[in-house]
A and B are shown apart, each in its own frame.
Chain A
Amino acid sequence: MSPITPDDDPKLKKLDAELKAARKEFEEDYNPKAGPNDENVGVGARAGVELVGAVIGGALIGYGIDYYFKTSPAFFLIFIVLGVITGFYNIYKITMNVGTSVGFKGLKSPSKEVKQSPNYNEDDD
């Protein structure tokens, strides 16, 4: 028995057309890529604290060292300056899209490579 094709029956033909329309509608509605983009959601929420947190963290570390070795305020000042530099460095890394983790490994991840390739179109997302 040969498989039934839509041409055999007008009813099937109608069903086939309806199915095609429904499938098209479904594909337009359901775009898995349209959801929150993992790398971009929360980057804004991240950036500000990255700057402030670095200074606070630097101050804490410096204060701790000073407290332990009784060298106040030498390390406190050094680490605050280091914290400011680190904060800006991290902001730079976020804006240049090279990942927020330590080191530049993010640069090597495949998704970033795709984004940096000339064929990648931002609107496709």
Chain B
Amino acid sequence: MANPIHQFEIYSLTDKHFVLGGLDLSYTNSSLWMTIAVVFSTMFLTMAMRRKALVPGRMQVFAESIYGFVANMIRENIGSKGRQYFPLIFTLFIVVLLGNMLGMLPYSFTYTSHIIVTAALAFLIFFIVVLIGLFKHGFHFFSLFLPPGVPWWLMPLIVPIEIMSFMIRPVTLSVRLFANMIAGHIMLKVFAGFSVGMMAAGGLITLGGLGPMLFNSVLIGFEFLIAFLQAYVFTILSCIYLKDTVELGH
């Protein structure tokens, strides 16, 4: 049976490794699929919006609905002041969505299934929140850790927990996406492995091999839902976190 983890292996596409300052910076399969995502999204959005028709065509409707989806998400979660973050949020959404969706193509590589990729995205959001928050609100930014309406004698307990839950944001944000993607893809591979193994066994068991195959086709549909949902959750949580840089509650 094929190793279900094998699909996440990162390898250099060139024989000669490109090493710079002790770091292996070769062009890997992960880089290839990131490049494909960038090229695909840029080309798709440019082509779709090329004609700018008043009555949009199929592609334009699709591009506009993505725009509307993200714009709506920002308006609902950050407010009208969040418009300045639109380029960031939109890019983030497209990067994560395409990472998940391109991973559903056979023989492709899911770059969001590596924690270093999702952690880099999550830390980007984290540092943007901290830096812009401190720049805009100054010392007042730390009032984030004091939830309103908490009695003073609970403060020593609540404040460390609030600080802690602020610090672990990048961890939860990245682990959520990474774990969902890796678990889904391993599950698909394991069920495919069952199917192949049973079909190779011969006799009546061969027919039984259709079971995991049918189940796998259901799982693939489910995996598409997860791919979209996780991109959505990642983006919406980024919105919620970025809200702190726009306005502090109370």
Residue from the list A60, A100, A103 in contact with B237, Cβ < 8 A: A100
A85 to chain B: which residues have CB within 8 Å?
161, 164
> Do residues A42 and B161 form an inter-chain contact, with CB atoms below 8 A?
no
- How many A-B residue pairs have C-beta atoms within 8 angstroms? Tell me: 95
CB distance from A66 to the nearest CB of B (A): 16
A50-B172, A56-B171, A57-B171 given as contacts; is B162 within 8 A of A42 (CB)? no
B240 to chain A: which residues have CB within 8 Å?
99-101
* Cα–Cα, bound, A17→B144 (Å): 57
> Do residues B236 and A38 form an inter-chain contact, with CB atoms below 8 A?
yes
> Do residues B175 and A103 form an inter-chain contact, with CB atoms below 8 A?
no
Q: At the interface, yes or no: B62 with Cβ under 8 Å from chain A?
A: no
Q: Provide the main secondary structure of the chain A interface.
A: helix
Q: Can you list 28 A-B contacts (CB < 8 A)?
A: A36-B232, A38-B236, A42-B229, A45-B176, A45-B233, A46-B176, A49-B175, A50-B172, A53-B168, A53-B172, A53-B175, A53-B176, A56-B171, A57-B167, A58-B164, A83-B168, A85-B164, A86-B161, A86-B164, A89-B161, A90-B165, A99-B240, A100-B240, A101-B244, A102-B244, A103-B144, A103-B147, A105-B248
Residues on A close to B: CB < 8 A?
36, 38, 41-42, 45-46, 49-50, 52-54, 56-58, 60-61, 79, 82-83, 85-86, 89-90, 99-105, 108
